[in-house]
A and B are shown apart, each in its own frame.
Chain A
Amino acid sequence: DGGITQSPKYLFRKEGQNVTLSCEQNLNHDAMYWYRQDPGQGLRLIYYSQIVNDFQKGDIAEGYSVSREKKESFPLTVTSAQKNPTAFYLCASSRGRESRWDEQYFGPGTRLTVT
């Protein structure tokens, strides 16, 4: 079955530690995205990548870093510089064509709690 996997489902970290969230897709999609979801707010874009070895900052990139070494994988690192890291993180992918019909497919999400 094609899809997007994120692991782990729940992640707990101590303040000051970096943590990396995994996102893998087998849909052969070129574009991948990381979003953050907080209670009462819409999803906000952290980083996105339209092609391997290239990525762009989204609206709230401060305190985060990404890499895109393989088409299938787009890991997100939440660094100690992120002031409020506790949130639900969603990864998505799309075919990546410059088309208004480019639909995004979402992973199951990772809930990160930093104490």
Chain B
Amino acid sequence: KNEVEQSPQNLTAQEGEFITINCSYSVGISALHWLQQHPGGGIVSLFMLSSGKKKHGRLIATINIQEKHSSLHITASHPRDSAVYICAVRRWTNDMRFGAGTRLTVKP
């Protein structure tokens, strides 16, 4: 079993829909990251969090340390949000473990 599991693997939405991507992990962590990978392959960091909730524009990330679970929400989704979203955790040993990613397609 992978240490970081994401669901769903693939997600298709209509423009304007509210989107949720889930991440569960099985190891002790010091921080959790949400990353975005565009079709060209480059990766950008969206959020880094260790507790509670963070918001940036239409993106919201939450984490529940006790349940070892995090969610990434996108409000009012847009076709430009189409990308692969990756959950990654930093273990207490300071190394990173990555989920397989969720491929999001937002149709106009």
List A residues at the B interface (Cβ < 8 Å). 35, 40-45, 58, 88, 90, 98, 100-109, 111
Looking at chain B, what size class is its interface with the partner chain?
Answer: 20 to 34
Contact B90 A40 (CB under 8 A): no
Closest 8 CB pairs of A and B: A42-B98, A100-B30, A106-B43, A109-B41, A43-B98, A108-B42, A100-B31, A42-B100
Q: 0/1 per residue, B5-48, Cβ < 8 Å to A? A: 00001000000000000000000001101010000111111001
Contact B41 A88 (CB under 8 A): yes
How far is it, in angstroms, between the C-alpha of A104 and the C-alpha of B96 when the chains are bound? 10
Contact B100 A40 (CB under 8 A): yes
Q: Does B75 touch A at the CB level, under 8 Å?
A: no
Measured CB to CB, the closest approach of chain A to B54, in angstroms, equals: 13
A-side contacts of B2, CB under 8 Å: 42
Contact A108 B101 (CB under 8 A): no
**Contact A101/B31 with A88-B41, A107-B42 known, Cβ cut-off 8 Å:** yes
Contact B94 A98 (CB under 8 A): yes
B-side contacts of A105, CB under 8 Å: 45
Most chain A CB inside 10 Å of its own CB: which residue of B41, B45, B88 = B41
B-side contacts of A109, CB under 8 Å: 41-43
Residue of A nearest to B91 (CB): A100
Q: Does B97 touch A at the CB level, under 8 Å?
A: yes
